């Protein structure tokens, strides 16, 4: 976020900027219609050569000149080059796999180039050649603007009345929709929101929508907002009905006579002396709400509870042989490294440092029964281990007393933690389940159903893939783009994050740095998932606690 203003000091050259994306003269890949473009943005992390996906815009139907409403929020650091790559695709299905769609071209630049210009237009390249040439060359336009630090969002609802009829068949009216654009510092306008299309009506009532204040007007209540009403057509062309200008300060007055806007068609206004308007657009409701952050809830006393579930199936290999993923020696195995990497960060949010640790897929003493939900410390009534060191000790002792077996069933441990989470829907506690596994899930339908049912609870599920098995099914559970479904029931929100262990811990990477990077990605989605639950249930944080917590010295500092 933008640093706070402190008179008499120097500001650090780090801020957050918003990138607005448009494309012009894109190639047509579809025989019967125009393309349905989407832009994927990649960043190159500091000190690395690989590209990492950072953002995807929405897909816009049937156009070669899209203006995307979805904006890229990215920190700008003066001391770094910050290379960016933009790839444009024609979306052909609901698949999140980019290889399933037509590639339209790519462009690269640095964030500094965009910042210094304010607006850049880059030719799209394909196979190191410009896509088309001359006036018809495909290009991408990127506009950068600094963001104000805001936590508010605005809920808006509009309706139209007596709009112009754009379809000349006697039985047809118009198919109106609204496009909202905000003024930029250069005086141009950029799209921030589109409503849905309401078919065959001159008196539409659009659905209520929510948009962050910083996206709508960059926190400036007096910044001009342009609202354009179009008539939708199936061939991809849009007919202008009319437009008007307003700002958030005017809208915040609520539904009054001052928020009934005349929809003006500039061409009709110029050519017809008797022209008054092309209908009216009315503000039906407005509500500005404060957006609370993950830190607001933690400071208000919300407790984070982490449970750990460990895969003890036979596919891990004989624990007595060095090739086993569960082999215990002076060198920590992958399970131990994953527990330590993630647990050491999570335990800072857990006041009592007590972790319930579950196991699944093993045969237990004394009779060798198979269990998919047992306590790793082998205490039949109390699954808790004190601190991460206690978790590691319980894990090592457990390996010596059980027999690895199978199959790999996730549903029992998910349902176990979900039962506890169901008792804390008031926002006082949030639960994290860390599942460490080496193989393919045997009970995928049951696991999917358990996750869909748990999506309404204060719960996140982190899955770390250990070893080199096929983890493609895990990507299905990590429903970042397409909501998880069980039968006809759709997950209320995304609660799963999957990370393969070897992505960070293999090769010649520095072990400490690799552990930090593993933990960073494993925990990356927790704040967003946490906030999504609180927001969906209208839970506000308590006032910040006034207590002071005394922490012991950092052992790493003591050693140095």
Domain CATH number, residue 429:
3.40.50.410
Who has greater pLDDT, 243 or 343?
243
User: Cα separations (Å) of 381 from 150, 394, 479?
Assistant: 48, 15, 35
Same domain, yes or no: 131 and 174: no
Same domain, yes or no: 141 and 157: no
**pLDDT by residue (tens digit) across 537-554?**
999 998 876 544 333 333
Domain C-terminal end among 146, 172, 205? 146
Distance spanning both ends of the chain, measured CA to CA = 33
CB atoms within 10 A of CB 30: 12
Tell me the C-alpha distance between 202 and 546, whole Å: 56
Same domain, yes or no: 426 and 484: yes
Tell me the C-alpha distance between 406 and 347, whole Å: 30
Query: SS3 for 457?
Result: coil
Domain C-terminal end among 146, 166, 201? 146
Please determine, for residue 190, whether its predicted confidence score (pLDDT) is greater than 70: yes
Domain C-terminal end among 290, 314, 348? 290
Residue 130: per-residue pLDDT: 61
| Residue 297, in any domain of the structure | no
| Residue 4, in any domain of the structure | no
The per-residue pLDDT of the chain, averaged, comes to: 86
Please determine, for residue 520, whether its predicted confidence score (pLDDT) is greater than 80: no
Rounded to 10 deg, the angle between the 444-454 and 411-421 helix axes is 10
Quickly list H helices, 144-293. Answer: 213-217, 248-251, 266-271
Per-residue pLDDT band at 296 (split at 50, 70, 90): confident
| Residue 553, in any domain of the structure | no
Same domain, yes or no: 407 and 455: yes
Same domain, yes or no: 249 and 372: no
Question: Going by C-beta distance under 8 Å and a sequence separation of 6 or more, which residues neighbour residue 2?
Answer: 15, 16, 146, 147, 148, 149
Same domain, yes or no: 326 and 428: yes
Residue 115: per-residue pLDDT: 77
Tell me the C-alpha distance between 257 and 150, whole Å: 29
Same domain, yes or no: 322 and 175: no
Same domain, yes or no: 423 and 482: yes
Same domain, yes or no: 169 and 233: yes
Q: How many domains does the chain have?
A: 3
Range of the domain at 318: 302-536
| Residue 184, in any domain of the structure | yes
**pLDDT by residue (tens digit) across 9-58?**
434 334 678 899 999 999 887 777 789 999 999 998 876 778 999 999 99
Tell me the C-alpha distance between 283 and 527, whole Å: 34
> CA Rg, the chain, in Å?
27
Query: Residue 140 belongs to a domain with what CATH number?
Result: 2.60.40.150
CA atoms within 13 A of residue 220's CA, in its CB half-sphere = 14
Predicted TM-score of the model (pTM): 0.63
Taking residues 292-318, report their average pLDDT: 88
Question: Going by C-beta distance under 8 Å and a sequence separation of 6 or more, which residues neighbour residue 95?
Answer: 101
Same domain, yes or no: 141 and 30: yes
Per-residue pLDDT band at 237 (split at 50, 70, 90): confident
Please determine, for residue 179, whether its predicted confidence score (pLDDT) is greater than 70: yes
Residue 474: per-residue pLDDT: 81
Q: What is the chain's length? A: 560
Same domain, yes or no: 388 and 508: yes
List the single range of 227-236, 358-367, 389-398 with lowest mean pLDDT: 227-236
| Residue 558, in any domain of the structure | no
CA atoms within 13 A of residue 139's CA, in its CB half-sphere = 13
Please determine, for residue 521, whether its predicted confidence score (pLDDT) is greater than 90: no
| Residue 509, in any domain of the structure | yes
| Residue 544, in any domain of the structure | no
Same domain, yes or no: 97 and 230: no
Bridging pattern class, strands 384-386 and 72-77: unpaired
| Residue 559, in any domain of the structure | no
Q: Which two tokens stand for residue 261?
A: 């806007």
- β-partners of residue 145 are 18
């Amino acid at each position: 976020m933008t640093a706070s203003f402190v008179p008499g000091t120097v500001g650090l050259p780090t801020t957050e900027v918003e990138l607005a994306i448009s494309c012009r003269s894109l190639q047509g890949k579809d025989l019967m219609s125009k393309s349905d473009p989407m832009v994927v943005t990649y960043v190159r992390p500091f000190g690395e050569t690989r590209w990492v996906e950072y953002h995807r815009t929405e897909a816009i139907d049937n156009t070669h000149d899209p203006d995307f409403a979805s904006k890229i929020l990215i920190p700008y650091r003066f001391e770094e080059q910050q290379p960016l790559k933009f790839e444009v695709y024609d979306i052909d299905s609901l698949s999140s796999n980019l290889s399933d769609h037509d590639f339209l071209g790519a462009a690269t630049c640095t964030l500094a180039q965009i910042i210094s210009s304010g607006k850049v237009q880059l030719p799209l390249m394909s196979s190191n050649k410009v896509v088309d040439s001359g006036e018809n060359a495909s290009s991408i336009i990127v506009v950068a603007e600094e963001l104000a630090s805001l936590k508010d969002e605005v809920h808006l609802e509009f309706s139209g009345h007596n709009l112009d009829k754009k379809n000349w068949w006697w039985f047809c009216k118009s198919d109106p929709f609204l496009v909202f654009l905000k003024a930029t510092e250069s005086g141009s306008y950029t799209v921030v929101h589109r409503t849905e299309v309401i078919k065959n009506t001159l008196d539409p009532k659009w659905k209520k929508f929510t948009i962050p204040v910083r996206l709508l007007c960059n926190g400036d209540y007096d910044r001009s907002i342009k609202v354009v009403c179009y008539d939708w057509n199936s061939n991809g062309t849009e007919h202008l009905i009319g437009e008007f200008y307003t700002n958030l300060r005017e809208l915040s007055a609520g539904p009054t006579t001052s928020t009934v806007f005349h929809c003006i068609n500039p061409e009709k206004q110029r050519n017809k002396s008797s022209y008054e308007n092309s209908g009216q657009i009315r503000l039906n409701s407005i509500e500005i709400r404060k957006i609370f952050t993950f830190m607001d809830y933690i400071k208000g006393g919300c407790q984070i509870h982490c449970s750990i579930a460990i895969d003890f199936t036979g596919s891990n290999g004989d624990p007595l042989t060095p090739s086993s993923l569960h082999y215990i020696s002076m060198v920590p195995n992958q399970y131990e490294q994953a527990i330590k990497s993630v647990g050491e960060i999570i335990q800072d949010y857990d006041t009592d440092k007590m972790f319930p640790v579950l196991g699944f897929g093993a045969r237990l003493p004394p009779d060798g029964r198979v269990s998919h939900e047992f306590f790793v410390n082998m205490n039949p009534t109390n699954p808790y281990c004190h601190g991460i060191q206690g978790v590691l000790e319980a894990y090592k002792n457990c390996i010596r007393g059980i027999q690895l077996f199978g199959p790999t069933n996730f549903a029992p441990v998910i349902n176990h933690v979900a039962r506890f989470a169901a008792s804390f829907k008031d926002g006082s506690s949030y639960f994290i389940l860390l599942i460490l596994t080496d193989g393919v899930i045997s009970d995928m339908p049951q696991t999917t159903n358990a996750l869909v049912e748990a999506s309404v609870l204060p719960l996140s599920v982190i899955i770390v893939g250990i070893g080199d098995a096929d983890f493609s099914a895990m990507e299905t559970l990590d429903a970042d783009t397409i909501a998880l479904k069980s039968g006809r029931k759709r997950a209320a929100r995304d609660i799963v994050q999957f990370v393969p262990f070897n992505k960070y811990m293999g090769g010649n990477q520095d072990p400490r740095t690799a552990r930090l990077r593993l933990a960073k990605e494993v925990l990356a989605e927790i704040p967003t998932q946490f906030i999504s639950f609180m927001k969906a249930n209208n839970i506000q944080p308590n006032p910040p606690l006034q207590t002071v917590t005394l922490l012991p010295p950092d052992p790493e500092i003591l050693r140095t």
